[in-house]
Chains A and B, each alone.
Chain A
Amino acid sequence: MHTDKIEKFLEKQKTALASGGQDKIVSQHEKGKLTARERIHLLLDEGSFTEIDALTTHHYYEYDMQKKKFFTDGVITGYGTINGRQVFVFAYDFTVLGGTLSQMGAKKITKLMDHAVRTGCPIIGIADSGGARIQEGILSLDGFADIFYHNELASGVVPQITASIGPSAGGAVYSPAMTDFVIMVEKAGTMYVTGPEVVKTVLGEEVSFEDLGGAMTHGTKSGVAHFVAKNEYDCFDKIKTLLSYIPSNNTEEAPHVATDDDPNRMDHNLINKIPENSLQPYDMKEILLSVVDNNQLFEVHELFAQNVIVGFARMNGRTVGIVANQPMYLAGALDIDSSNKASRFIRYCDAFNIPIITFVDTPGYMPGTNQEHNGIIRHGSKLLYAYCEATVPKITLVIGKAYGGAYIAMGSKNLRTDINYAWPTAQIAVLGSEAAVKIMNKKDLDNAKNPDELKKQLTAEFNEKFANPYVAASNGSVDSVIDPAQTRPMLIKALEMLANKRDKQLPRKHGNINL
């Protein structure tokens, strides 16, 4: 019965699945890009995808657009599961009118985002779009604005992830920028506000798409991309891994992953990773990897601002956010980019109930006009603000140097850090000994017969008196000096103690973090 109606429905479905047509699909493949539906199927668990709004079309008629109507109108939306967890996903379909965003497309995306926010599930967007559909003019721009508004509504409520596997240009790049994590695929994803042609016309500067806004550029220079994927498979692998560390919404905790890694595992070799000479660099990652479960650290912004390391790891099965200075780059000094990188990460963890563990070995802030003129003061203050604002469990471990303002900024006690530990090798002081002596003992040095020898002596005295964790320990700025071999068990115990921490801020609309 009703065979003709059934046939009509099946016919429409078939057309919808064909997206922009076979020839467009072939052309997409030739560029080395998968189609939107192929991507969704790779990302989600086999057979779990349920599409919505498959039969939408645009309703525009200027420029003869009624002759170019396609089902889905350039963006595929729907829901499914990733490793069993419900997620919402939308993917721009480059085969339909170049994946350009129309009023209907924006409606679809915002409808999907509403679902995600109401049900408390992550949103994943796959960007591969020519940008605004020029024919629709302002309607398209308004569409973008609506999406941005929904990005804000969802921000801090559910995780928002963007995979950039194609162009995003002009206004379109702002949606990814508002999401929590951006993954760009090398030689496929590009993001820029003004494209190379306009750059050439206006400034006479010649630059390729990749150099201007490709994955590596944003992964290393601008920090727009949190992750750089080698290819689309790698991109989806990274998304799945990322999701495994974070909760589905801001009321939940991240999934607990049971581990065989003994929570009481000691590492007597840990102390040997710090060179005797405190001026010698070492790789902080070695220490981090030893302390966390199963040597696994999922780094965020791995190639950007490498003087600080941020990322997710697990401690006895529970996700934690790690923030650590990296002495191998800029001697672990803080600067504009690293302050931004760490602050954003801390605020993400705070929004999603992820405890933060900070590992400190920093000589201070990078000096110089470059930093000052570009506002290290403003950017540095973000780090302080983020630590203070965070009400998730916060633990800090000082491993080496912690001088002056950088000591304060890296999760010091009075930023309301819950537990502060230090290794015996910690040097918590207002300044490095050399600098301190120059200032404090200037008169003595000026009048000395043998200034060099006096300097040596005073430096040694300073080191003895101040370049250690004991002054801090004696007045409670450090809760305990710990045996490095016990680092992992001590951190896990602190985390367990803080598991049910509840803290609140005074009511206000929101603070005024220096942006």
Chain B
Amino acid sequence: MEYKIAEIEAAFNGQVLQKTGESDYTIKINDKQHTLKILKMNTRGIEFVLDSHVHTVKYLDAGTAQMKMVVDGTPFTVNMHHSLNEIVFKNSGGGDSGDAQTALHSQIPGKVVSVNVSEGDSVKKGDVVCVLESMKMQVSIKSHKDGTVKKIKVKPTASVAKNDILAEIE
């Protein structure tokens, strides 16, 4: 199967060649073969010996096209089927969010202190749409593009989680 590590833009071809024992495998990554022995495994993570090094991988999220994991303490985003990306994202504007064009996501969790625009206002990229408070800091959330505020999805005192949609800007 094809894999791509998003952060370093490196593509790989990886597969299991053979199961050689109860928890032993021979796998192939690109053109190299490796031996792998599973020490411990469940849906949340795996501890294994790859060739002669021990590694710990924690699975944070595993979707159809993307896996988020922590490998020996370092976070990784591994994309699968990336050759299909162009087709899948054609109508949805690319990347993680199909509605990336209109939705303004919150980068942080917090409480809405104020909403600084109204529906129908025209905004420029960088204009403050709302202000969130978290950890005693006030963070201004700015518009990601020029456009008109189509919908505001939060009100003051609402709590938002990371990635929640705050507003839609057309």
Q: Which residues on A are within 8 Å of B, measured CB to CB?
A: 29-34, 38, 42-43, 46, 186-188, 229-234, 236-237, 240, 283, 286
Cβ of B168 to closest chain A Cβ, rounded Å:
11
A187 to B99, CA, bound (A): 11
Closest to B85 in A: A233
Q: Check A34–B88 contact: CB distance below 8 A.
A: yes
Q: With contacts A236-B64, A237-B63 known, is A231 near B159, CB below 8 A?
A: no
Residue among A38, A188, A230 with max Cβ neighbours from chain B (10 Å): A230
Q: Check A231–B92 contact: CB distance below 8 A.
A: yes
Q: Check A283–B88 contact: CB distance below 8 A.
A: no
- Chain B residues 40-84 with CB under 8 Å of chain A are 63-66, 81, 84
Determine which of B88, B97, B158 lies in contact with A232 in the assembled complex, contact meaning CB atoms within 8 Å: B88
Determine which of B1, B88, B159 lies in contact with A233 in the assembled complex, contact meaning CB atoms within 8 Å: B88
Q: Check B159–A32 contact: CB distance below 8 A.
A: no
Apart from A42-B65, A236-B64: 15 A-B pairs, beta carbons within 8 A: A29-B87, A31-B90, A32-B87, A32-B88, A32-B90, A34-B88, A42-B84, A43-B64, A187-B91, A188-B91, A230-B98, A233-B66, A234-B98, A240-B63, A286-B159
A232 to B98, CA, bound (A): 10
A43 to B91, CA, bound (A): 20
Determine which of A43, A230, A240, A286 lies in contact with B92 in the assembled complex, contact meaning CB atoms within 8 Å: A230
Q: Check B91–A283 contact: CB distance below 8 A.
A: no
Q: Check A186–B92 contact: CB distance below 8 A.
A: yes
Cβ of B15 to closest chain A Cβ, rounded Å:
9
A38 to B92, CA, bound (A): 18
Cβ of A256 to closest chain B Cβ, rounded Å:
12
- Chain B residues 69-122 with CB under 8 Å of chain A are 81, 84, 87-92, 97-99
Residues of A within 8 A of B88 (CB): 32, 34, 231-233
Q: Check B63–A231 contact: CB distance below 8 A.
A: no
Cβ of A44 to closest chain B Cβ, rounded Å:
10
A167 to B88, CA, bound (A): 16
Q: Check A283–B158 contact: CB distance below 8 A.
A: yes
Residue pairs across A and B with Cβ atoms less than 8 A apart, 26 shown, are: A31-B90, A32-B87, A32-B88, A32-B91, A33-B87, A34-B88, A42-B65, A42-B81, A46-B1, A186-B92, A187-B92, A187-B98, A229-B98, A231-B91, A231-B92, A232-B88, A233-B63, A233-B64, A233-B65, A233-B66, A233-B81, A236-B63, A237-B65, A240-B63, A240-B64, A283-B158
Residues of A within 8 A of B87 (CB): 29, 32-34
A188 to B92, CA, bound (A): 9
Closest to B61 in A: A237
A466 to B66, CA, bound (A): 54
Q: Check B84–A231 contact: CB distance below 8 A.
A: no
Q: With contacts A233-B64, A237-B64 known, is A186 near B84, CB below 8 A?
A: no
Closest to B158 in A: A283
Residues of A within 8 A of B99 (CB): 186, 230
Q: With contacts A42-B81, A186-B98, A283-B159 known, is A231 near B89, CB below 8 A?
A: yes
The 8 lowest CB-CB distance pairs between A and B, nearest first, are A230-B98, A32-B90, A233-B65, A187-B91, A236-B64, A231-B92, A237-B63, A32-B91
Closest to B89 in A: A231
Cβ of A302 to closest chain B Cβ, rounded Å:
12
A233 to B159, CA, bound (A): 28
Q: Check A186–B64 contact: CB distance below 8 A.
A: no
Closest to B86 in A: A29
Residue among A38, A234, A240, A286 with max Cβ neighbours from chain B (10 Å): A234
Cβ of A34 to closest chain B Cβ, rounded Å:
6
Q: Check A230–B97 contact: CB distance below 8 A.
A: yes
A450 to B98, CA, bound (A): 61
Residues of B within 8 A of A186 (CB): 91-92, 98-99
Against A, the Cβ 8 Å flags (1 = close, 0 = not) of B15-57 are 0000000000000000000000000000000000000000000
Cβ of A167 to closest chain B Cβ, rounded Å:
14
Residues of A within 8 A of B158 (CB): 283
Cβ of B128 to closest chain A Cβ, rounded Å:
23
Closest to A282 in B: B157
Cβ of A14 to closest chain B Cβ, rounded Å:
21
Cβ of A429 to closest chain B Cβ, rounded Å:
27
A232 to B91, CA, bound (A): 10
Closest to B63 in A: A237
Closest to B81 in A: A42
Residues of A within 8 A of B1 (CB): 46
A187 to B88, CA, bound (A): 11
Closest to A215 in B: B98
Against A, the Cβ 8 Å flags (1 = close, 0 = not) of B132-150 are 0000000000000000000
Residue among A46, A230, A231 with max Cβ neighbours from chain B (10 Å): A231
A232 to B87, CA, bound (A): 10
Cβ of A255 to closest chain B Cβ, rounded Å:
11
Residues of A within 8 A of B91 (CB): 32, 186-188, 231
Closest to A236 in B: B64
Closest to A187 in B: B91
Cβ of B90 to closest chain A Cβ, rounded Å:
3
A46 to B81, CA, bound (A): 11
A32 to B88, CA, bound (A): 6
Cβ of B57 to closest chain A Cβ, rounded Å:
18
A42 to B159, CA, bound (A): 35
Closest to A32 in B: B90
Q: Check A34–B89 contact: CB distance below 8 A.
A: no
Residues of B within 8 A of A236 (CB): 63-64
Cβ of B93 to closest chain A Cβ, rounded Å:
9
Q: Check A34–B92 contact: CB distance below 8 A.
A: no
Cβ of A96 to closest chain B Cβ, rounded Å:
18
